[in-house]
Amino acid sequence: MSTIIEARNLSRFYEVRRGLFAEPATVRALSEASFRVTQGTTLAVVGESGCGKSTLARLLTMIEPPSGGELVIDGKKLGATGHADLKALRKTVQIVFQDPYGSLNPRQKIGAILEEPLKINTDMPSRERREKAFDMLIKVGLRPEHYGRYPHMFSGGQRQRIAIARALMLDPKILILDEPVSALDVSIQAQILNILADLQEELGLTYIFISHDLSVVRFVADEVMVMYLGRPVEFAPVEAVFESPQHPYTVALLSATPVADPRRKRQNIKLEGELPSPINPPSGCPFHPRCRYARDKCSDIRPELTLHGQTLVACHGIEEGWIDYAAEPPPPGAALSGERAGTTPQAPDAAVRAPEPGSPV
Ligand code: SF4
C-alpha cells in the first residue's frame, strides 16, 4: 500500500511574551517529527498532555502551517501547492474532536450540520446533499428521521456518531481522530471504535488516532508513535510497542495503563517530576530529568531515532545496551506472570477488532 502522509522534520514553534517588557520566548510545541503513514491504516499518536499531539493534529488538518520541515499529504507537498490545490487537499483531511457536546452547533438541526461542509465546499444540489446526509446517518448507525432533530436530543455516543458523519460528508481519505472516545462511557467507546473500524474497512480511510489511553490504542492502531515534549521518541507496529516497549517513557506510560486481568500484575513505574516546559526544554535527551536510566551522556547529546528490531527509538541506553529490562528484578510483591515489566497483557475486548499490524517507517 502507498504512503498517504509523510512528515520530514516537521516543526511548529510559537512566539510568546511572558510580560509586557519581556523578550519573546519560543515554545517548541513540535520539533523535527518524521514519520510515514500508509493508506488505509491507523497511526496512534500517544503521550502526556503537552507532548505535541494536538499541535500535530493542527498541522495535519492544515489549520496551521508548520514552522519548519516538510509535510506531504496524498502526494502533495504543503507550501508547494497553489490555493486551489490546498482547498482540495483540505477536503482530503477531516477531523473528529474529543467533545461531542461542544463540537456540534446546538442551534442547528442535524441535517444542516451534515450538509454544511457540502454547502461551503461544493455546488451539490440540495436534494443530493439531503440524500448524502441520510446515507451518512445510516452509515454511522443512526436513522434518517434523526435528520430533523437537534444535538441536545442525542446522547454523547450518538453525538459522536454525528460528528463522524459530518467529517465524512466530503469523502475524505484521512480522518484525524482527536481523543474521539475519551469523553464517552466505556460501553459506548467500544461501539464508536467498532463503527470507526467498519468505516475504515468500507471506505479505505486512514486514521491518525490521538489518544492518551493506551488500552484503547492497542485495539485500534496498526502503528504507534509515542511523543515526549514535542518529539517522537518511539515508533513501532502496535504489537512491538505493547509486547516489547523500548523507550523508558513508553515503558512508564504502559505501566500506568490498567490491566483487565486481575491474575496479572506488572511493575508500576512512577514518572518522577513534571513534564518540562517546551519554552526551555532540557538539553540532550528531553526525558533525562525524569529517566531512572539517565547517564551523563543523556544530558549532553540528544539521541536520534534508530532502528532496533521493528522499533524506531530515541534512547542512548537502548542504542548502547545499558538498558536491559529483562535483567531487572521485579519489585517486591509484583508477580509478573511471565510478562515483562511494562507490558500491558490485557485480554482483547471481543467487541473491538484488532487490525493487522502495519509496517514500520
Ligand atoms: Fe533515559 Fe538517557 Fe534513554 Fe533519555 S537517552 S531515555 S535519559 S537512558
Residues of the chain with pLDDT > 70, as a percent, come to 86
Ordered by where they begin, the domains of the chain are 3-106+158-225 (3.40.50.300)
| Alpha carbons 315 and 92: distance in angstroms, whole number | 35
- pLDDT score, position 122: 93
**Which protein residue has the closest C-alpha to ligand 1 atom 5?**
315
269 closest CA partner among 219, 335, 343, 322: 343
Mean pLDDT of 327-339: 48
- pLDDT score, position 170: 96
Ligand 1 lined by 278 (C-beta under 6 Å): no
Least confident of 1-5, 110-114, 148-152: 1-5
Least confident of 147-156, 161-170, 208-217: 208-217
- pLDDT score, position 329: 60
What does the block give as the cell for 132? Answer: 448524502
Residues of the chain with pLDDT > 90, as a percent, come to 67
Question: Which of 313, 316, 319 most suits a substitution to test ligand 1, by most atoms within 8 Å of the C-beta?
Answer: 316
Residue 275 has pLDDT above 60, yes or no: yes
Ligand 1 lined by 117 (C-beta under 6 Å): no
Which residues touch 326 (CB under 8 Å, ≥6 apart)? Answer: 340
Ligand 1 center to residue 282 CA distance, Å?
A: 12
The sign of the dihedral angle between the CA atoms of 94, 44, 48, 72 is negative
Ligand 1 center to residue 232 CA distance, Å?
A: 13
Ligand 1 center to residue 304 CA distance, Å?
A: 11
Ligand 1 center to residue 5 CA distance, Å?
A: 29
| Alpha carbons 83 and 211: distance in angstroms, whole number | 32
**What is the signed CA dihedral for 71, 73, 78, 84, rounded to 10 degrees?**
-170
User: Residue 313, SS3?
Assistant: strand
Mean pLDDT of 102-117: 94
b/e sequence 29-41, b meaning 16+ C-beta within 10 Å: bbbbbbbbbbebb
**Residue 146 CA from chain centroid, whole number:** 30
pLDDT tier at 352, thresholds 50, 70, 90: very low
| Alpha carbons 57 and 262: distance in angstroms, whole number | 36
Mean pLDDT of 160-173: 96
- pLDDT score, position 24: 83
59 versus 17: which is more confidently predicted? 59
Ligand 1 lined by 251 (C-beta under 6 Å): no
- pLDDT score, position 334: 40
Residue 100 has pLDDT above 50, yes or no: yes
